[in-house]
Amino acid sequence: MKAKVTILMMLLFASLVFVGKAQNPIIQTKFTADPAPLVHNDTVFLYTSHDEDDAKGFKMFNWLLYTSTDMVNWTDHGTVASTKSFSWSPQNGAWAPQCIARNGKFYLYCPIHVKGIGVLVSDSPYGPFTDPLGKPLIQNSIDDIDPTVYIDGDGQAYLYWGNPNLYYVKLNEDMISYSGGIVKSPTKPANYQEGPWFYKRQDKYYMGYASTCCPEGIGYSMSSSPTGPWNYTGMLMDSDKRSNGNHPGIIDYKGSTYLFGFNYALSKALSPTHTERRSVCLAKLTYNSDGTIQKLPFWSEAGVDGIAVLNPYKRTEAETIAWSQGLKTSKGANGMYVTAIDAGDYIKVKGVSFEKGAKEFMASVASTAPSSLVELHLDSPTGALLGSLKVKSTGSIDNWVVQSCKVRRQSGVHDVYFVFKETSNNTLRFDWWQFN
């Protein structure tokens, strides 16, 4: 099944990427859904659920983490938690999470289908996360999915959740308990289905959500109070048959507001019928003067513009990717790396700034092939050739060696494509790179 998935995903990528525009979906090496972005220390931490490659229904065992500082290149940190993090959870059922920071700790709220909503705690946004309760925080009904959490300016934290009803509790400062009872919102919007996302901007509260199934769009309501009443305001994105489900995640970052959600673009290459293999997408929101939000069209292939350049003179992880074709990522003793590399596959890194030029390219690689080739192209997979790294065998696929090649002098800001040649699946792995 994995080989079939890889081949068909390559066909999709070829149709989308060679036009040089596509940035959505923002993750291509895995199927991702239910995006939950968190801004911390000038970095966007994107937590997602994860559909397995062979999923037909919901086959979800873990939660993943990606980070970015430019909104176009996303670094894969792999699994940050899983159903195994809870002693009371079955293997399957790792649905839509959200993470929030408070008092130097990070709280990851995780719904386990039909079991309730648990909470994991860590000293770092990267984990490891552990279960402080040993039981669900919320165990109210089969509606207990899709938690969203927000800390108001007065310090009161709120946890909302629910499908098809909308509930909330007031969390205590410890973030792992709550005061008062569970409240069922009497002003849930008529087209509310699931996937709430609760936040505040200026003096207005917002509740984004996935609208009535199926297919689901993204609607929103507004209120002057964190507990409602919620007044239906409009749609952020209309429903579209290209995306059976949806789940919004919204953040303000460096002067702009970004909306995350998902579509089924990668899955469509595998099967024309509906499967739960989803792909996270990204767009920018625009507010009107009264605080309402302008409706977006369906997820564009172009995505969003980068807001910073990438420094090529420091070590950059190979799994920092704006777009890729045919590749996978995995985790080993040295951390994450790029694998499942075949001839013709490539990685695109967007907005690389060669302000000081470059003479040399270095990469940490592991290879069992006598020789492989990594070509460095500018601005397209067939653009100007910057250099070619002839990878020599390292003796073992787990033995990492830094190898280098000379590169043509270059200036300015460019997209860099690492195009793999003369290699086949699992004879080459790619860990990190740097220009000097």
Active-site residue, from 34, 276, 317, 345: 34
Distances (CA, A) of 390 to 292, 406, 423: 55, 11, 11
Q: Which of 127, 51, 4, 75 has its CA nearest to residue 337?
A: 75
Dist. CA 93–CA 133, nearest whole Å? 19
Q: Which amino acid is it at 156?
A: Q
Cβ atoms of 174 and 223 closer than 8 Å: no
Cβ atoms of 238 and 249 closer than 8 Å: no
Dist. CA 236–CA 298, nearest whole Å? 10
Q: Which amino acid is it at 221?
A: S
Q: Which of 16, 27, 13 has its CA nearest to residue 321?
A: 27
Active-site residue, from 70, 146, 194, 431: 194
Q: Which of 69, 104, 109, 53 has its CA nearest to residue 85?
A: 109
Q: Which residue has the tokens 């959740």?
A: 161
Residue 49: both structure tokens together: 């659920």
Residue 284: phi, psi to the nearest 5?
-105, 135
Dist. CA 185–CA 71, nearest whole Å? 34
Which stretch of DSSP H or E encloses residue 158? Answer: strand 157-161
* 194 a catalytic residue: yes
Q: Which residue has the tokens 């890729």?
A: 324
* 360 a catalytic residue: no
Cβ atoms of 387 and 419 closer than 8 Å: no
Reduced to 3 states (helix: H, G, I; strand: E, B; else coil), residue 236 is strand
Residue 17: phi, psi to the nearest 5?
-90, -35
Report DSSP state, residue 133.
S
Cβ atoms of 163 and 193 closer than 8 Å: yes
Tell me the Ramachandran region of residue 351: left when phi exceeds 0, alpha when psi lies from -120 to 50, beta otherwise.
left
Active site residues: 34, 194
